[in-house]
Amino acid sequence: VIHRDIKPANILLTKDNQIKITDFGAALNNSSQTTQVSGVGSPAYMSPQQVKEQTLTHQTDIYSLGVVLFQLLTGRLPFQAGNNYSLIHHIIHSDAPAPSRYRPEVTPDIDAIVARAMHKTTEGRYRTWEEFSFDLANAFGGLASRVEVIPDSEKFNTLRRLDFFRAFSDVELWEVLKITDWHRFPKDTVLIREGEVGTSFFVLAGGEVRVTKQKRLLNILRTGACFGEMAHLTRSKFVRTASVSALAQITVIEIKSERLQQASENCRHQFNGAFLAMLVDRLALANTRLSHLLAERNITAS
């Protein structure tokens, strides 16, 4: 789907800090035979291809979001004009200034991202949303993930091997595939940050992560482990009590609480059973560690 009217007024922030795009009245299904309608969109956010009424792809939306990003960083639009004719001339012929021109603290990598998103030609612009989001995530804290196209059959086989999903039936695992997002993150990526509000939990499909609190190491989690589940179990805004980061490249399965709540009763039941088994294992581990600690201190528990 090509939105064709990406602008601040059509970008909403929910109470759970989720970003939503609204007003698809101008949207175009690029898989259909729909005839494009001229004059659709807000001129200040239109790509050169859109103002010239050329055939559009998702890259026109990438350009528009680049304009939104410029405005977010600087508080102004990249092109100032007294009328639409002059504005369209600038969009087609003028290069957008770097955001750092108006805000010197903006870094060169952010300037480069905005410039590429707003490139005049589709060849010079980001080709995919993945490329755009990866560069943004790298620039804003190293949260980038290379989202590769993994066949559903491979995902299914991975789920079947993980302890967390051991009790799930084949039908339930296929449903899990529909409500999850899969990511690959590089070493030292912070997936969960202490003190931030979270709405997702994760299952580690490959690799290891470290769990820290106030920069002190609490645990090392390996393939099959689940973390961040309190964001779902509390059913409310949950402030993360620890940080989780990648020890090396990892593959993680992300489950958003709101999507799990919309799953079938059988699927939710299996998740609850997996959570219960996991909590029992953690209690047993905590008891063992406490016993060892008491033994080391020559204290006999009553």
What is the Cα–Cα distance from 152 to 287, expressed in whole angstroms?
39
- CB contact at 8 A, 118 and 71: no
Q: Which residue has the tokens 């807000």?
A: 42
Is 95 a catalytic site residue?
no
Which residues are CB-contacts of 118 (< 8 A; sequence separation ≥ 6)? 63, 66, 67, 70, 78, 96, 125
- CB contact at 8 A, 60 and 49: yes
Q: Which of 5, 61, 95, 135 is catalytic?
A: 5
89: phi then psi, degrees, rounded to nearest 5: -60, -45
93: left (phi over 0), alpha (psi -120 to 50) or beta: alpha
108: phi then psi, degrees, rounded to nearest 5: -60, -35
In terms of DSSP bridges, do strands 180-185 and 250-256 run parallel, antiparallel, or are they unpaired? antiparallel
126: left (phi over 0), alpha (psi -120 to 50) or beta: beta
- CB contact at 8 A, 141 and 190: yes
User: So which residues are the catalytic ones?
Assistant: 5
